Amino acid sequence: MPTVYPCVPGHEIVGRVNKVGSAVSKFKRGDLAAVGCMVDSDRTCPECQAGLEQFCPNLTLTYNFPDKHLGGVTYGGYSESIVVDQRFVLRVPSNLNLAGAAPLLCAGITTYSPMRHWCVSKGKKVGVVGLGGLGHMGVKLAHSLGAYVVVFTTSPNKEK
Ligand SMILES: [Zn+2]
């Protein structure tokens, strides 16, 4: 789908809940919350019924996607506010550094998911190619899961 302008990107979102709808039960005004790359799905297709909303043919992505509720397109994390179905909102513990927590919503899950799939744990070896946005997250997650971690980089200044 081509970009629709104006476009407000951003899919590693951390903020405070400002309002809740009458059917919202998981959050209240003032709660710290986080949102990744999805804000809604149809809830009825086989994928949604199986808890695999990321494969829903009628999902709504966080930004630049047709907004079923407000019209127009969705605006992402750089907008002042965003409307999200509570099923796609995560609770953020108050002891987390918010700027440090935001990358968990994309770089974090992108690297954590395959590590879970491949059962990364103590005694396993994980190679990370490049120490950038995803790479640094991969190193931290693999290390905390107990793996032996090796980074491949062409930037000697990142060795330390
Ligand atoms: Zn669905």
Give 113-148 pLDDT, tens digit per residue.
999 999 999 999 999 999 998 999 999 999 999 999
Would you identify the CATH topology of the domain 107-158? Rossmann fold (3.40.50)
Q: What is the largest CA-CA distance in the chain?
A: 54
| Domain(s) of CATH 3.40.50.720: residues in the chain | 107-158
32 CA from centroid of ligand 1 (Å): 27
Which residues touch 71 (CB under 8 Å, ≥6 apart)? none
Yes or no: say if 89 and 29 are a contact pair by the CB < 8 Å rule: no
Is the overall model pTM greater than 0.75, yes or no? yes
| Domain(s) of CATH 3.90.180.10: residues in the chain | 13-96
49 CA from centroid of ligand 1 (Å): 7
126 CA from centroid of ligand 1 (Å): 34
82 CA from centroid of ligand 1 (Å): 21
60 CA from centroid of ligand 1 (Å): 10
87 CA from centroid of ligand 1 (Å): 13
Tell which CATH architecture fits domain 13-96: Alpha-Beta Complex (3.90)
27 CA from centroid of ligand 1 (Å): 23
C-alpha 77/C-alpha 81 separation (Å) is 8
Q: Is 50 left (phi over 0), alpha (psi -120 to 50) or beta?
A: alpha
Q: Which of 90, 136, 137, 80 is nearest to 109 (CA)?
A: 137
Sign of the torsion formed by the C-alpha atoms of 128, 134, 139 and 145: negative
Scanning the structure block, which residue is given the tokens 């994980």? 126
57 CA from centroid of ligand 1 (Å): 6
Yes or no: say if 148 and 155 are a contact pair by the CB < 8 Å rule: no
Could you tell me what percent of the chain has a pLDDT over 70? 100
30 CA from centroid of ligand 1 (Å): 29
Could you tell me what percent of the chain has a pLDDT over 90? 93
